[in-house]
Every structure is written in C-alpha cells, then in structure tokens.
Amino acid sequence: MAAHLRSGDRATTLNLYARFLQAFEEKPLSPDLIASEEDHDVDELVIDLPAHSHSRSLQPPSILLAVVVAHAIGDSFHDALHAYLRFPAPIPPRIATEFLSTFSDRLLISKVEEYVRRLRIARIVSEPRFITARAAVFAATRDTQGLKKFYQSIIDGISGPQPYIAPCQASVTPQTPVALNEIHWATILTAFLQCNCRDLAETLWDDMVRFQVRPTVIMWTALLVGYERTGEAKDAEEAWRTMISMGIEPTTSTFRAIISVLFTARRPDDALQYFTMFQTRLTSGLPSAPEDTLTLCNTVLHGLLKNRLEKDAHALFQRLREEGPKPDVVSFNSLLNYHGRRGEFRAVSRILDWMREDGLVGDVYTFSTVLSALLKVGRTDATDAILSLMRKQDIKPNVAFFTSIINHQMEEGTEQGLRATMDLLQKMEENPEVQPNEVTYTGILTSLHRHDWRDLTLAQQCRQHVLEGMKRRGVQLNRAAYHVLIKACLDNLAQEGTEDALEYYRKMAQKRISIGADTWYILLRGLIAREAWTAADGVVEEISRSRAVYGGLADLVRRVRKRRGWKTKVEPRSYF
C-alpha cells in the first residue's frame, strides 16, 4: 500500500483495503493485534505496544493509516472518518510517525497528521467511556490546560472547518456521524468546575446555547454537582432558581446535589428546607428508586453529622429504620465515623448492635472505622478486637480484605494508623492463610511516601520492615507498582520525594523492568510539577538517547528543553 501511495496511486490502495476489510469481516483479527484504546486515548500516555506489533510490516493500524493517506490525497476527510470509525483499531502515534517517514511530500504529511489528530478526537467522542475517563483524569490531576485543549479540539470538530462532530444526537448527519451527547457536556462541565475554571464552564454553557443544545435536568444536575465539589452555595441556589424558572423538574440526584452543597457551606437549615421539599414531592409522586432515595437520605445524614447536629441525625436514622428506606452499610458507617472520631466507643458499640439487629454485615470501611475508634480510646488490643468482631459477624477476612483495611488506616496519615497497619501486617505475615502480597506491600509503601510523617524514624523503620518482608517472601514489585510508587514519591512535597522517585526509577533499570514512555511520562510530569529541573534535564537526556518520543511525553520533553534553552546539555550520569 505504501508503495502505491508514494506513487500517488490512491485507487489501488483503496481497492486493497476493500479486499482486506472483506477478509476481516469474514475472519476477525486476533485481539492481540488490536491496540488498546485506553492505552492511547485516555491516560495521555504513550503506552508501548506488544512486542509483535513493533514491526514495520503492515499491521492493522498501518493498513488503516494507509487508507487515511489515500483519502488525504483525494482531499476527502469525511471518507477517512467513516473508514476510521468502522475499523476496530486506533492509530498509535509511533506507527503514524514511522509510516509517514517514508513519504517526502511535506504538505501531504502535515495533512495526514491533522487528519489523524481529528480522527482520534472523533473516536473518543464516539465512545462515552473514553470522554468520561479522560475528563476524570484531567480533573483529578487539575490539568487545566490539558482539559481546555481537549475541549477546544471537540469544539473545533463541531464548528471548525469540515465539521465532523454533532453537538447532540438529533444533529447527527453523514458529515457529522458522531455526537457529543448530553452526558458528555455534563462530564466536561463538572471537570471544569472541579478545576475551578469558572470561565471555561461558562464558555461551555454558552457553547451549548450557541449550538442550540437545550440543557435538560442532566446538565443542571451536573452544574450543581460541580458547585457541590467547589463549595459555591450561592451559585448553586441561583442555578436552582434558574432551572425551576425554565420549567425543568429536579430529580432525586438534583435534590441531593443542592442539599450537599448547602450542608458543606454550613447552612444546614437551608439544606433541610430542600430535604423537606424533596419529601413533599416524593409524596406527590416524584419518581425515585428506593436506592436513589436512600442515597439522598445518606447525604442528609452525613450533612447533619458534619454540622454537629447529632440529635437530628439520630432521629433521621431511626426514622429510616422504622419507615424506610432501610439504612444500608453506608448509613451505619456515617454514624460510626462520627462517634469514632470523637472517641465515643459506647456509641460505636451501640451502632454495631443496631447493625447486627438489622441483619447487616460490616464492610472494610466499617472495620477500619471501628479500629480507628479503638485506637483513639487507647486500646492496645485494637487489632485483636477487630479480628474478634469479624469472627462474631462470621467474616473470614482474606488478603484483599486485610489489605483494604490497611489502606484505610494508612490514608489517615496518623502515627496511630501507621502502628495499627504494622500490627495487622505482622498478623498477616504470621497467618499462612492471609499472607500479604504485592498489593499489600505496595499500598503501605505508597502511603509511607505520600504522607509527611512527623516521626520520620518510625516511618523509615516501617519502610525497612516492609522491604525486608518482601525480600523474605520473594515478593517482587511489578512495573505498575513502580509507577504507583514513583508518583507517590513525587506527590510528597518534601525534598526526599524527588530522591525517592529517582531511586525507584533506578531500581527498575537494575532489575531489568521495562522502562517505557509511560514510565517517563509519570516521572517527568512529577519532576516538572516540583520544578526539579536538574533531575528533569537528566531524564530528558536519557530519553533522547533511548528512542523517539510521541504524544504527551513529547510535550513534556519540549517543556523541559524550552526552559533549559541555551544551557549546555546535561550529563545524565550526574543524576542517575
């Protein structure tokens, strides 16, 4: 195909593709030959393909790329779009670069690169889970620029030259075969608000109006959820009033969002007014599944406790027990957490009795909360007491259960939690049926690196105990575990965070664990965020000697080099 394209023969290429597609439909390709969409489009990481996909021969993505080139020669983006959406494999950046390197026509190469960029956006929009995952990553990392760039690329697809994305399902045409559904708009809106980008959230809302997309209750609920996460109660109430004035009826989820934001703003009286309004509408026929109603009631219960309205919370709880919807484990955990943090173990015991009366069995959070309460009142036998409680509830904890409790304890970042963790770990190590595994050890190490411990000596001793335990049991960290640990080290603002991250990076090389673009992306992004430019320079030099880079990693490399500018090249051995 490539040879025909280099000679300008697009017709033969398209004929060959038609024959390939026919064969493909008769006998689908092995999944091993199809690159993972999540790897390339969600995490913004350039994940290495399986070894057998590195060949320069025409693997499926290369075949599709050849078809895109053929349509680019014919200046037919929409034909390329339909071919791309029909084909099950994305085009990894490396394959695109290698394939196009065989062409000499720079204008054609630029056109194909632009086609591929737009096609990747179309593919993301065509799969709701990809947009949701991408927006969640941007929001979690507060990557405002990345989120803005991602959104703008979608808007360009709606209103730019040769539009190919419809602003809603009703606007889909052969020219715009993929649609930005309402849930997409809602997801991105929430992400903007999570990143405190009010201006971008307002721009998105204006864009919806511009494209004649009428916000329904889904969008209004998303807006309120965004305000809930940013604590903007006044804006939330204004949005509610506007929604009602437009004749849009709130759902249970909408009520839950406005109630939550008001409780968070320390306005419990106003929150309870909305709760009363919800109950009135529920009586009048507001459709609400029992589980949705209970979720809202749990929000109210949590809000009352958060505002120290203990009597009101217990009154609501008992009413739910008597009238329904019956409290679930989440309801009980809210009460356990409130009284446990206050060291009121009698209340904790009483709540556990109620749970037993109602036939409910505690979950990981339940036992971790009770463990914290026991530690708070100075019980030296706290872990033994928890194990006894599990036995009373006929729970036989496995490795995963113990590991989850340990993770909850470590997340608190307290010395008590750390000591309880090491006690539980020792009991696991002594019990042949619940031996700690790689996940257990990785979780402890991650928290040890992420938190800023007051007693550094204790933290270091715990880390040493974990490493020695791993060595005794022959537990080896895998590639994913090293990535988690590197990120945890870089999340810690202490100076040793950089040093610890680089130490894990060096260990990967020493143990001959594959270091790929995703490893460098995590490491380099963390170093840039910490402004650890010396170490970042060293990593960039090492990357440059190892391989070509693409996508998000290439952007990070450019940022480091741009800052370094005129400086003399760094010798990486100085840092590694």
Confidence of residue 57 (pLDDT cuts 50, 70, 90): very low
Pick the last residue of a domain from 102, 125, 148.
Answer: 125
Assigned domain for 563 exists: yes
Q: Judge if 542 and 435 occupy the same domain.
A: no
Q: Which helix (H) or strand (E) holds 266?
A: none
> Which pair of tokens denotes residue 97?
């670069």
Neighbouring residues of 468: CB distance < 8 A, sequence distance ≥ 6: none
Question: Taking 70 as the threshold, does the pLDDT of residue 50 lie above it?
Answer: no
Assigned domain for 401 exists: yes
d(CA 122, CA 164): 8
d(CA 561, CA 564): 5
The amino acid sitting at 277 is: M
Q: Judge if 16 and 109 occupy the same domain.
A: yes
Confidence of residue 3 (pLDDT cuts 50, 70, 90): low
**The domain containing residue 412 runs over which residues?**
397-476
Q: Judge if 433 and 499 occupy the same domain.
A: no
Q: Judge if 456 and 546 occupy the same domain.
A: no
Helix intervals (H) in 246-344 = 252-264, 268-283, 290-306, 310-323, 329-341
| Count of Cβ atoms closer than 10 Å to residue 202 Cβ | 12
d(CA 212, CA 170): 11
| Count of Cβ atoms closer than 10 Å to residue 120 Cβ | 19
Helix intervals (H) in 328-434 = 329-341, 345-357, 364-376, 382-392, 399-411, 415-430
Assigned domain for 32 exists: yes
Pick the last residue of a domain from 476, 510, 539.
Answer: 476
SS3 label, residue 230:
helix
Share of the chain above pLDDT 90, in %: 70
Q: Judge if 109 and 19 occupy the same domain.
A: yes
Assigned domain for 354 exists: no
Global pTM reads 0.79
Number of domains the chain is built from: 3
d(CA 279, CA 119): 48
Assigned domain for 82 exists: yes
pLDDT digits (tens, 9 = 90+) for 414-435: 999 999 999 999 999 999 999 9
SS3 label, residue 240:
helix
pLDDT digits (tens, 9 = 90+) for 269-312: 999 999 999 999 999 999 999 999 999 999 999 999 999 999 99
d(CA 80, CA 156): 17
Assigned domain for 569 exists: yes
Helix and strand element counts for the chain (H, E): 30, 2
Of 408, 388, 394, residue with least CA distance to 333: 408
Q: Judge if 449 and 500 occupy the same domain.
A: no
Q: Which residue in the block uniquely carries the two structure tokens 């006044």?
A: 234
Q: Judge if 58 and 95 occupy the same domain.
A: yes
Look over the chain and give the mean of its residue pLDDT values, rounded to a whole number: 87
SS3 label, residue 513:
coil
Neighbouring residues of 354: CB distance < 8 A, sequence distance ≥ 6: 321, 332
Q: Judge if 539 and 563 occupy the same domain.
A: yes
Assigned domain for 378 exists: no
pLDDT digits (tens, 9 = 90+) for 147-198: 999 999 999 999 998 999 999 999 999 999 999 999 999 999 999 999 999 9
119, 90 contact by CB (below 8 A):
no
Pick the last residue of a domain from 100, 125, 150.
Answer: 125
Confidence of residue 101 (pLDDT cuts 50, 70, 90): confident
Q: Judge if 7 and 117 occupy the same domain.
A: yes
Q: Judge if 547 and 436 occupy the same domain.
A: no
The amino acid sitting at 173 is: T
Q: Judge if 28 and 111 occupy the same domain.
A: yes
Assigned domain for 248 exists: no
Neighbouring residues of 193: CB distance < 8 A, sequence distance ≥ 6: 201, 223, 226, 227, 229, 230
Q: Judge if 527 and 413 occupy the same domain.
A: no
